[in-house]
Amino acid sequence: MLGDIALKQVAKRLLDYCREGVQAFRYGGEEFALLLPKRRLNSAKRTAETLRAAIDRMVIKDRRRGQTLDHITVSMGVAEYDEHARESGADLIYRADQQLYKAKNLGRNRVMPIN
Residues annotated as part of the active site? 30
How many angstroms separate the CA atoms of 5 and 18, rounded?
A: 20
CA distances from 95 to 76, 86, 88, 92 (A): 12, 14, 11, 5
How many angstroms separate the CA atoms of 51 and 42, rounded?
A: 14
